Structure formats: structure tokens, C-alpha cells
Amino acid sequence: MPADSARPRLAVWKLASCDGCQLTVLDCQDELLALAGEMDIAHFTEATSAELPGPGPFDVSLVEGSVSTPADAARIKQIRADSRTLVTIGACATAGGIQALRNFGDVAEFASTVYARPDYIAALATSTPVSSHVPVDFELPGCPIDKHELIGLLSALLAGREPRIPGHSVCEQCKLRGTACVMVARGTPCLGPVTQAGCGAICPAFGRGCYGCFGPMTAPNVGALVPWLGRLGMPDSDIRRVFATFNVAAFDRLAGGSAAAAARPEPGRRHPGSGA
Ligand code: SF4
Ligand code: SF4
């Protein structure tokens, strides 16, 4: 990299998201300045309205957000076509995000409840990760992503080597930083044993359980963890809910549909705000 110019071109794109992962890119501050010395930032509307000439190609595209509208679905195909390396950043882009709760509800009902003119709303019935639509080269999980993981990935791409994205659990990061296990030492429920490392085990370091914002690790044993959460006093309804957050679609596949069950309104009860 780059293939045919002196400096590689970086683009940062947004689909359906809260912008938090793009803010993590900006939070790199000093590193971002160094990066700007090595790469041309050709498109990054969260940071600047200035655009370098030409639509593409881009050596690296960072994509935040899930595919939630027909326009997103068309845009991501164009972004893929214009990008040599496509990296998805954050739980929205890698797993569908918190907005994937809609996958287990009725989008038409939500739209008619919230909007005076639901016919103006163009939304897909599901919120899906970018990888469901186009090939993705690398995925950085997290809500939001970790800046050190991002800098490590971009540095590796600049150096022409394979980025190293961990597939192991948050538990390993607790051991590495010397944090006592919150489940064993405090009896605090924690999703660390099934959650992908990368955040530095921030939550256990501050005495609270991991709630899975980095999504499932490689080959997580959710079936072994769930009974432990019950033994620590979590009722079944809370266990289902804890899997029904930022990575609901990814955890649901592993938890046998129980995350989806938590995302659905209880029988005879409508979602809050439905006016019933
Ligand atoms: S992953 Fe989290 S922080 Fe990043 S855009 Fe989605 S909601 Fe925001
Ligand atoms: S410990 Fe878990 S919930 Fe906390 S930041 Fe890390 S992955 Fe996210």
C-alpha cells in the first residue's frame, strides 16, 4: 500500500450509527496528526467538509454503522467497489448494533407509532452488519471501538503487514493486567468469558462485570456461562436482556434465540411509547 500513488488514501464512512466510533477516530488526536502525515484523509465528514478530488479509489475505508435503509444497502456496494481494503468499525457495522433490536419486532408498527407520516420512512425490516452485504477485510468490534486497536490496525496496513485483531476473551486481558476476576472475587455477573478482547478489560478493572459491548469472541461457550450467571443470582429475564444489547443479533445466534426473546415485547404488552 499504496498501489499507485505516493500516499495512501483513507476514507471514513457512516451508515446507521451514533457517530461514537468516528469520534474515537478523532480521539486519536496526536496519532491522527501522525497518521495524516502518512496518509491522505480523502473523505471524513465527521472531521471536515473538505474532500480530496476524485471519488476513489481509496486504499483504506473505515465504515461505521449498520445497513438499515435501502440507501445504506446501495451505498455500501459503491464504497466496496471504491475501496481496496474495507474495515468495519464498531458493533453497528460488525453486528448490526443496538438498532438490530428491530429485527425481532415489527418495523412498520414502530414507524406508525413514532412518526406522523410513516410513509416518509424508508427503513429495511432489519439492521444488518456490513459483512451481510459486501466482503469485509477486517472487523474492529466494540461500542465504541478501542483507539489502540484502531491505531494498531492502521499502522499494520501502512507497514504492509496483517493486522492482529484478538479473537480471545476479555478474561485473558483481565489476567494480563492483573485484575482479579469479578465473578470469582465479588460474585458479579460478567460476560467477559464469551466477549472478544480489545478494550483492555476496562469494566472489570473498575469492579463491574463486562456487558459484552465487543461482541462474541471466537468460539464462545455461551451455554457454559449462562448457568453460572443464574447461580450468581441473575433471573432468566435479566440473562436474556444482558445478551440483547449492542450485539444482540450476534449473541442471539449463540444464545439459542434468547436475546431475541428479550428484545420482543411480552405477550399482551406493547413496546413503551406505543401509546397503548
Ligand atoms: S458501535 Fe456504538 S459507538 Fe460505534 S457507532 Fe455504533 S452505537 Fe455508536
Ligand atoms: S469490559 Fe466488556 S462491556 Fe466493558 S468495554 Fe470491555 S467489552 Fe465492553
Q: Closest ligand 2 atom to the C-alpha of 204? A: 1
| Sign, CA torsion 82/86/89/92 | positive
Q: Whose CA is nearest to atom 2 of ligand 2?
A: 210
pLDDT of residue 147: 95
Whether 20 lines ligand 1, by a CB cut-off of 6 Å, is: yes
Sheet containing 9-14, strands listed edge to edge, beginning at the edge strand earlier in sequence: 40-44, 9-14, 58-64, 83-89, 138-140
Dist. CA 198–CA 201, nearest whole Å: 8
Residue 262 above 80 pLDDT? no
Q: Closest ligand 2 atom to the C-alpha of 211? A: 3
| Domain map (residue ranges) of the chain | 9-159, 170-263
Whether 95 lines ligand 1, by a CB cut-off of 6 Å, is: no
What is the residue-averaged pLDDT of the chain? 89
Q: What is the pLDDT of residues 173-187, one digit of tens each?
A: 999 999 999 999 999
Q: Whose CA is nearest to atom 7 of ligand 1?
A: 18
Residue 128 above 70 pLDDT? yes
The amino acid sitting at 177 is: R
pLDDT of residue 274: 35
State the CATH class of domain 9-159.
alpha beta
Whether 153 lines ligand 2, by a CB cut-off of 6 Å, is: no
pLDDT of residue 273: 33
Rounded to 5°, the CA angle 170-172-174 comes to 75
Round the CA-based radius of gyration of the chain to a whole number and report it: 20
- Ligand 1 pocket test target in 22, 26, 62, 64 with most atoms within 8 Å of CB: 64
Residue 253 above 80 pLDDT? no
pLDDT of residue 268: 44
Whether 213 lines ligand 1, by a CB cut-off of 6 Å, is: no
Q: What is the pLDDT of residues 2-25, one digit of tens each?
A: 544 578 999 999 999 999 999 999
CA distances from 253 to 94, 95, 109, 245 (A): 14, 11, 24, 13
* Maximum mean pLDDT: which of 27-36, 67-76, 234-243: 67-76
Average pLDDT of the segment spanning 215-236: 93
User: Which residue from 81, 70, 74, 24 is spatially nearest to 47, judged by alpha carbons?
Assistant: 24
Q: Strand ranges (DSSP E) for the chain?
A: 9-14, 40-44, 58-64, 83-89, 138-140
In our burial notation (b when 16+ CB lie closer than 10 A, e otherwise), range 200-209 reads bbebbbeeeb
**CA torsion, points 231, 236, 237, 242, in degrees to nearest 10?**
60
Q: What is the pLDDT of residues 42-90, one digit of tens each?
A: 999 888 777 666 677 999 999 999 999 999 999 999 999 999 999 999 9
pLDDT of residue 270: 43
Whether 91 lines ligand 1, by a CB cut-off of 6 Å, is: yes
Work out the percent of the chain whose per-residue pLDDT is above 70: 89
Q: Whose CA is nearest to atom 8 of ligand 2?
A: 213
